[in-house]
Amino acid sequence: MRDIDRILDLAAKLPAGLPDSGALEKLTREYKELDEALDEGDILGAILEGGDVAYYACKLLNLAAHRIDRVAGNEMSIGVSDLIVACQAKYALRAQPGNPKDDAAEREAVRRALNLRGGDAID
């Protein structure tokens, strides 16, 4: 998580800042540039573009957390680290044999992982 925090600290100092509402479009553009570099056999260029993909992926996580946090209001505070915890809780279930998809179990796993109580905003 420290790596993501370091990237977001840098992002906050740059002109687009945080949250960046254009993060998804920029991520998509950078991924296309990664493909182009790979198609040209430009490995160093691909690594640079891969770094851009990482940067905008972090910014997209930040935007998602910001949007959730804004809607949650006083109910809770949500950050990027909470989204990582939720991801791990959900996909630990999905990674079981047979790739089970059980929304109720996933919701409960995330609720437990984030120590959330029930309520209208979270149910």
**2 φ/ψ sector (left φ>0, alpha ψ -120 to 50, else beta):** alpha
**Of the spans 54-58, 98-102, 114-118, which averages the highest pLDDT?**
54-58
pLDDT in the model for residue 76 = 85
pLDDT in the model for residue 1 = 75
Domain span at 13: 2-113
Residue 120 has pLDDT above 80, yes or no: no
Torsion, Cα of 9, 11, 14, 17 (10° steps):
-100
Residues 30 and 52: beta-carbon distance below 8 Å: yes
Domain membership flag for residue 118: no
Give percent of the chain above pLDDT 70.
Answer: 95
Quote the pTM value: 0.90
Residues 28 and 60: beta-carbon distance below 8 Å: no
pLDDT in tens, 28-47: 999 999 999 999 999 999 99
pLDDT in the model for residue 101 = 95
Domain membership flag for residue 119: no
Domain membership flag for residue 19: yes
Domain count of the chain? Answer: 1
Domain membership flag for residue 69: yes
Residues 122 and 76: beta-carbon distance below 8 Å: yes
